[in-house]
Amino acid sequence: MAVVSDPFSSPRPGTTLPGSLTEVAAVEQARAAAEETAGDPGLVGEHLAVEPEIDPPVTGQVAAEALGATATHTFASRQPGYVGWHWAVTLATVPGEDTVTVDEVVLLPGESALLAPAWVPWHERLRPGDLSVGDVLPSTEDDHRLVPAYTADDDSAEDPEGRVVASELGLGRERVMSAEGRAEAVTRWGDGDFGPGSAMARSAPGPCATCGFYLPLAGSLRQRVGACGNAYAPADGRVVTADYGCGAHSQATLVPADDTEVVHTARYDTGTYDVLSD
């Protein structure tokens, strides 16, 4: 048993390995294996270190003879695009033999290696607007936004809106939106351009809920969202919240407050003046 002393090596302090795994011949054997795997000798750089693979490290002659030994030689990588990576070649000896064999050759990242971002499932990478013509976006079995239609009636005791969902039975749909899915949709629409917080809504003469062009959605969302049917409104054909609004409100009129000022209001009153159009 010999303490590692090869000038190319940098083992852990106090670690001992068979000389056959650390001598220059073993280093060259490991290099040849790395070059063969790389396919080009120029892609394998200088020898960096050798580390034992047995944990805890073999430190006695009897243990080494009983178990054999393995060690990994590392070489700098010159592989294009693999900055900071290194070749790792594991060598081994069998009990009672000095013959060295190659266990495996791999290219591994170091502490300064450039790595690709962590893999993210496709359904988590998708963003609104990513779907284009010809694309197919299948829903997963565990999509929390959907529930089987045949369970909707059973859920109605805990979910008051379930009674509405239950009416979908017999219409041919296997799954319908869950209460959580509907809540997420309303929140998303409310936070968008056609929700109460938008600049248009804040300066509108009245909310969509009081507009004649407002088309409420059917079912449990009827009181909260609907579609705009005014061709001149910025939200025409879009889903809007009941508290959204715009200047094209059906009740918007010009009411003279005095002789010099005209204000916008959602009140419809022609008792004191005539509405003229160009």
Backbone angles phi, psi at 230, to 5 degrees: -95, 115
Tell me the two tokens of residue 10.
């940098």
Contact indicator for 265, 253 with CB cutoff of 8 Å: yes
Residue ranges of the chain whose pLDDT lies below 70: 1-19, 54-68, 150-172, 254-278
Tell me the two tokens of residue 65.
């003879």
Residue 150: predicted pLDDT: 62
Q: Which amino acid is at 131?
A: L
Radius of gyration of the chain (CA): 37
Residue 63: predicted pLDDT: 47
Residue 2: predicted pLDDT: 31
Residue 252: predicted pLDDT: 80
Distances, alpha carbon 65 to alpha carbons 56, 95, 209, in Å: 15, 5, 86
Residue 1: predicted pLDDT: 30
Residue 81: predicted pLDDT: 86
**CA-to-CA distance for 174 and 37, rounded, in angstroms?**
52
Residue 274: predicted pLDDT: 61
Residue 136: predicted pLDDT: 76
Distances, alpha carbon 116 to alpha carbons 79, 81, 107, 110, 140, in Å: 16, 11, 15, 13, 26
Spell out the domain ranges in the chain: 2-109, 143-177, 184-253
Residue 140: predicted pLDDT: 77
Residue 224: predicted pLDDT: 93
Residue 64: predicted pLDDT: 45
Considering the entire predicted model, what is its pTM?
0.48
